[in-house]
Amino acid sequence: MEDHRLMTTADPVRRPVDSRCPLRPGDPCTMCHHHATGPQDCPLVYLVMDDPELRDLYAASRQPSSSRTAASHDSDVVDE
């Protein structure tokens, strides 16, 4: 009995995923926590993304510097 399954020569090549650290944009995930296998189970990423205040601070730090400068000058105004 012959095998009539389609055989292709272009089998997909599997490459390791190059995980990026969401807290350090542009840097690879170095799995700095012993049991982490990537950003998906990193305790530091979890803590930052789970805490609303930390998440907002992180988001603000990722804004372009001109936006941050204008925002910081607005918050420096003290009502007398």
Q: What is the pLDDT of residues 7-27, one digit of tens each?
A: 555 556 665 667 888 888 888
Q: What is the pTM of this model?
A: 0.53
What value does the mean pLDDT take over residues 48-56?
Answer: 93
pLDDT at 71: 55
Q: What value does the CA radius of gyration of the chain take, rounded to a whole number of Å?
A: 23
Domain spans of the chain?
39-70
Contact residues for 15 (Cβ-Cβ < 8 A; gap 6+): none
In angstroms, what CA-CA distances link 9 with 6, 12, 13, 14, 58? 10, 9, 11, 15, 47
Residue 26: which region, alpha, beta or left (left: phi > 0; alpha: psi -120 to 50)? left
Strand partners, 20: 28
74 has a pLDDT exceeding 70:
no
Compute the average pLDDT of residues 19-36: 84
Kindly tell me if the per-residue pLDDT of 6 is higher than 70. Answer: no
